[in-house]
Amino acid sequence: MSKKCEICGASIAPKFLYCRECNDSKWFPETLKIDHTFYKNGILRREVFVEIPEKISKLFSNGNMGMNKLRAFFCMLRNAYDALNLDKKLTFEGIKPRLWAIQRAVEDRTRRGVTPESFRQFVIHYLEIALQNKDELYGFVEFFRSVIAYSR
């Protein structure tokens, strides 16, 4: 008899909560990826606020991605979004270097073992969506805020 991993849904032995990959936070499961957009019918999708962010927070906590690290990266993201809203001369294209800098910082910290590989994959996947336009950037801010809300 087997059961499913609470994060990715893979089959595991009944005595475990998570599969080996999720327990070690070495990968970012496809089941935790929202594809192409944070919106459905012009409004933010339900998945931006519940279920997926909760599972992502469990994955990151298994990989020693503490609250301080999450908040540091969230602040970088939110500061980029706030600058876009506050500086009327700044265009969405002008904000992209700040977003690329987030990816650069994540790459560096993952390489040094400060953040888990799953977090690097999370940022790469969702930044790709956020780099489409201002609305998608807002969707990523809200999504990241939800991940932090479920984190310990």
Q: Per residue in 107-123, pLDDT tens?
A: 999 999 999 999 999 99
Residue 82 clears pLDDT 70, i.e. is over it = yes
Concatenating the DSSP letter of every residue in 19-57 gives -HHHHHT-S--GGGPPPS-SEETTEE-GGGTSSHHHHHH
Can you tell me which residue has the tokens 């990826």? 33
Residue 79 clears pLDDT 80, i.e. is over it = yes
Q: Is 139 exposed, middle or buried (0-12, 13-18, 19+ CB in 10 A)?
A: buried
User: Are 82 and 113 in contact, with CB atoms under 8 Å apart?
Assistant: no
- pTM of the entire predicted model: 0.92
Residue-wise pLDDT tens digits, 2-51: 789 989 888 998 888 888 888 888 889 999 999 999 999 999 999 999 99
**What pLDDT was estimated at residue 45?**
96
Tell me the average pLDDT of the chain.
93
Phi, psi dihedral angles at 119 (to 5 degrees): -70, -40
Write out the H or E segment, with its range, that includes residue 12: strand 11-12
80 versus 26: the higher-pLDDT residue is: 80
Q: Is 2 exposed, middle or buried (0-12, 13-18, 19+ CB in 10 A)?
A: exposed
**What pLDDT was estimated at residue 143?**
98
**What pLDDT was estimated at residue 1?**
67
**What pLDDT was estimated at residue 28?**
93
- Which two three-digit tokens encode residue 48? 């931006």
State the average pLDDT over residues 51-70.
Answer: 92
